[in-house]
Structure 1
Amino acid sequence: MSDQYAGLTWKEGVPVSGRFDDPYYSFADGLAEARHVFLAGNGLPGRFGAGFRIAELGFGTGLNLLAALGAWRQGGGPGPLSYTSFEAFPMAAADMVRAQAAFGELALLAAELAPFWRDGVRRIELPDLHFTLVVGDARRTLPDWTGMADAWFLDGFAPARNPELWEPALLAEVARHTAPGGTAATYTAAGHVRRALAAAGFEVTRVPGFGAKRHMTRARRP
C-alpha cells in the first residue's frame, strides 16, 4: 500500500483521511451536503445546458461527480456533461466503491462507474459524461490546464488542515479558468478564502451552510 493511502480510517461509515485528519464528507449526510453546497451553491441543475463544464479541486470519493451526473441525467441534460477533477492523492478504488455504496439513491450510478475506478481509469467517455481526473498537485497541474469551467466545486480538506488547496495563487488560477458568468462554491466560509476569491476577481457571497456549518461561500465571476 502506497503512502498516499496510508492512514485512511472509517468512522460511522465515513472515510477519514489520515493525512489531513478530516472526513471526506459530512457525517450527517454526504449526499445532501454535496447537493446543498456544490449543486445548489452553483445554481445547479438550473444552469445546466449543452456543453456545461464542471471543474473540481479535490475528487475524494467521487461523490460530487455522482451527485452532478445524477442531476444531469434527471434533468435530461443535452449531450455530455464535462467534468474535470484535480486530485493530488487519489483514493484507492476499493475505498471509493465502499464510500459510494453508502448512498443507495446513487446505487445504479455507482455500480456503472465502479469498473472504471477498479481499472484505474482517469478518463471516462459516456454518451452523457466526459470525465477527466488530473492527478497531481493542483498548484502545478491547474496552470497547465487548457480547459475552462462554468462551475467550480472547491472541495479540498479544511483550509486549516489542507492550506495548499486554498492558497491565493491557486484560487487566482481557478478564476483564470472560469468562464465569464461562471461560479464557484465551497463549504468553507473562512475569511482568508473569501478574500482570496474576491482578490481573484470573483463576487463573493457568504450564504447558509449545510448542517452544523452556519455559513458557506458562493462566488461568481462577472
Structure 2
Amino acid sequence: MADQRAKLTWTDDHIPVSDRFDDPYYSLQNGLDETRHVFLEGNDLPDRFAPGFCIAELGFGTGLNLLTVWSEWETSGQATPLHFTSFEAYPMASDDMARALAAFPELSPWADRFLSVWAGQKCLLDTLHLEVITGDARQTLPTWDGAADAWFLDGFSPAKNPELWGSDLMQHVADHTVKGGTAATYTAAGFVRRGLSDAGFNVTRSPGFGRKRHMTRAVKP
C-alpha cells in the first residue's frame, strides 16, 4: 500500500501539489472559497440538506470538501449523520492532511474532530458517516451499492488525469445518482460535459471560481 500513497510537493504558500499529476489539491487562490462555490453552490447546498442525505465524491484529497460540507451540515441544524462516500486512488497520509487543512482555521473544529479518529477508511460520528473507498474508481465505483443525492467531481485536471473523467466513469456516476440528484465540478472541459450529458444528466455551464471562467453543473432528471 505504501507505493499507493499520495506523493506531494509543498509550494511556498504551503499548498500540497501532487507529484503524480503535477496539480495542486485545491485552488491557489482560496481552496475553501472554491469548495463553497463549486461543490456547495453547484449542488444547491445547504438548501437541499435533509436527513439521510448522501454525497459521493471522486477524489478525497485533503478532505477539504468533506469538512466544508460537514461544517455546513451541522451549522444548518442537521442532527442526523451526513452520509459521505469518496473514491480515492492515492490516499494522503494523515499528517499531510493535517498540514494542508491547517491553512483553513475556520474549519479547525471539524478538522480536529475528524483527524482525531481518522484511520484511513471509515469515520463514524454522530453527524458524519464517511467511507473512503481506495483504488481506481473505474473498478470500485461500478460495484458500489449506494446512490448519491449529490456528487463532488474533484479529480485532478482532466488534462492531467483523464482516467477520472472518461465517459464510462461518468455513466457509472449517473447510475449511482438518485432521480433529481446533482453533480458539480470545477472543470468545463467539453468531453466531461458531453460524458455527463450522454450519461443522462441535464448539463449546464456556469461561472467558475477565481481564474476559471466556467464550471459544470448537472442534474439527473
Q: Deviations over 1:6-52 (max 9, x none)?
A: 64101121100000000000011000000000000000000001100
Instruction: Report the TM-score, using the length of structure 1 for normalisation.
Output: 0.97
Distance in 1 separating the partners of 2:68 and 2:154: 14
1:41 corresponding residue in structure 2: 42
The answer on whether the counterparts of 1:7 and 1:17 sit within 8 Å (CA) in structure 2 is yes
Amino acid of the structure 1 residue aligned with 2:164: L
Q: Over aligned residue pairs, what C-alpha RMSD do you find?
A: 1.2
Instruction: Please state how far the C-alpha of 1:125 moved relative to its aligned partner.
Output: 1.1
CA contact (8 A) 2:6 2:93 kept: no
Gaps of 5+ in 2: none
What per-residue deviation string (whole Å, max 9, x for no partner) do you get for residues 92-144 of structure 1? 11100110111010011111111233xx2311111111110100100000000
What CA distance in whole angstroms lies between the structure 2 residues aligned with 1:140 and 1:19? 20
The yes-or-no answer on 1:14 pairing with 2:15 is yes
Structure 1 segments of 4+ aligned residues over 6 angstroms from their partners: none
Partner residue of 2:89?
Answer: 88
Equivalent residue for 1:135?
A: 134
Separation (CA, whole Å) in 1 of partners of 2:183 and 2:50: 17
| Letter aligned with residue 201 of structure 1 | G
* Cα shift at 1:3: 3.0
Superposition deviation, residue 182 in structure 1: 0.1
2:148–2:178 contact (8 Å) kept in structure 1: yes
One-letter amino acid of the counterpart of residue 8, structure 2: L
Q: Give the equivalent residue in structure 2 for 1:108.
A: 109
Counterpart of 1:147, as a letter, is G
CA distance in 2, matches of 1:7, 1:93: 13
Amino acid at match of 2:185: T
Tell me whether 1:166 sits opposite 2:149 in the alignment: no
- C-alpha distance in structure 1 between counterparts of 2:103 and 2:46, whole Å: 23
CA–CA distance in 1 between the matches of 2:6 and 2:26?
18
AA aligned opposite 2:10: W
* Displacement of 1:64: 0.2
| Equivalent residue number for residue 2 of structure 2 | 2
Alignment identity in percent?
62
Count residues with an aligned counterpart: 220
Structure 1, gaps ≥5 residues long: none
Report if the CA contact (8 A) 1:49-1:78 is conserved: no
Secondary structure in structure 2 of the residue aligned to 1:130: strand
Look up the equivalent residue of 1:84 and give its one-letter code.
T
2:182 corresponding residue in structure 1:
183
Match for residue 206 of structure 2? 207
Separation of aligned partners in 1, 2:57 and 2:120: 17
